Structure 1
Amino acid sequence: MLVRLMYASRAVAAIGDDELHAILRKSKADNPKHGITGVLCYSQGIFIQVLEGGRGAVNRLYNRIVADARHADVVLLSYDEIGERRFAGWSMGQVHMNRLNPALLLKYSETATLDPYAVSGKVSLALFEELVSTASVMGQS
């Protein structure tokens, strides 16, 4: 059974480009072994990530993320059984936030900043899908 899980978290410490790329490289190496696909968005200390795959594999990965000392305030935004993947082309892609039009954020929230803690999970997923479709996504497998 396939599931889609979306979560948000705050980085405990600042994440530089090198560390972010290391996270993406590790995800791209590990995720295919477990049948997991997804996309990561990081901006101003906040991670939003969508993970897709088998229920057990996605749950195990999410539990590791929750226990990871680099994350704080981990919040499950949505968790759904799905018939097909939306992000099947990415072992782990990254939304390129510096190409994003801030007006897109205003469409879904009170300010032009990425804050999944201030909106519902449903709104977060809609925003994330639009981020993926309008911003460039790096790291296709």
Structure 2
Amino acid sequence: MLVRMMYASRALPGLEEDALMNILRHARVANPQQGITGALCCSNGIFLQVLEGGRMAVNALYNRIANDKRHTGVVILSYSEIRERRFAGWAMGQVNMARMNPGLLLKYSETATLDPYAVSGEAMALLFDEVVATAAIMGQS
């Protein structure tokens, strides 16, 4: 059974770009072995990630992520059974937030700042879908 999970978290102060790149490199190697696909947004210290795959694999990965000391405030925004993947070709894509139109954020939230803690999980899922569709995806492999 396939599931899709979206979660948000806050990076600890001082998390460097190199650390983020290491996280992505590791995901791009490990995720295919577990049948996991997805995409990650990181903006102003906020992580927003979608994971897709088998229920047990996604749950196990989420538990590891939730216990990672590089971030806090980990919260599940949505979790659902799915018929097909949206990110089937991406072991872990990274959304290039610099290419995103700030007006897109205003469509779903009060401000033009990515803040998944201030909007519903449904609104974040819709925003994420549009961000992925309109912003450049880096490292789609």
Flag structure 2 segments of 5+ consecutive residues without an equivalent: none
Flag structure 1 segments of 5+ consecutive residues without an equivalent: none
Q: List, as ranges, runs of 4+ consecutive aligned residues in structure 1 with deviation greater than 3 Å.
A: none
> 1:114 maps to what in 2?
114
> 2:58 maps to what in 1?
58
Shift of 1:74: 0.5
In the alignment, structure 1 residue 105 sits paired with structure 2 residue 105: yes
In the alignment, structure 1 residue 72 sits paired with structure 2 residue 82: no
1:79 maps to a residue whose letter is Y
Shift of 1:15: 2.7
Deviations 1:72-98 (A, max 9, x none): 011100000000000101000000001
C-alpha RMSD of matched pairs (Å): 0.7
> 1:131 maps to what in 2?
131
Q: TM-score, normalised by structure 2?
A: 0.98
Shift of 1:14: 3.0
Q: Distance in 1 between matches of 2:66 and 2:20?
A: 17
Deviations 1:42-76 (A, max 9, x none): 00000000000000000000001111111201110
Q: Distance in 1 between matches of 2:94 and 2:66?
A: 20
1:44 maps to a residue whose letter is N
Q: Distance in 1 between matches of 2:125 and 2:16?
A: 25
% identity of equivalent residues? 67
Q: Distance in 1 between matches of 2:93 and 2:86?
A: 12
> 1:92 maps to what in 2?
92
SS in 2 for 1:118: coil
Shift of 1:18: 1.5
Q: Distance in 1 between matches of 2:102 and 2:16?
A: 22
Q: TM-score, normalised by structure 1?
A: 0.98
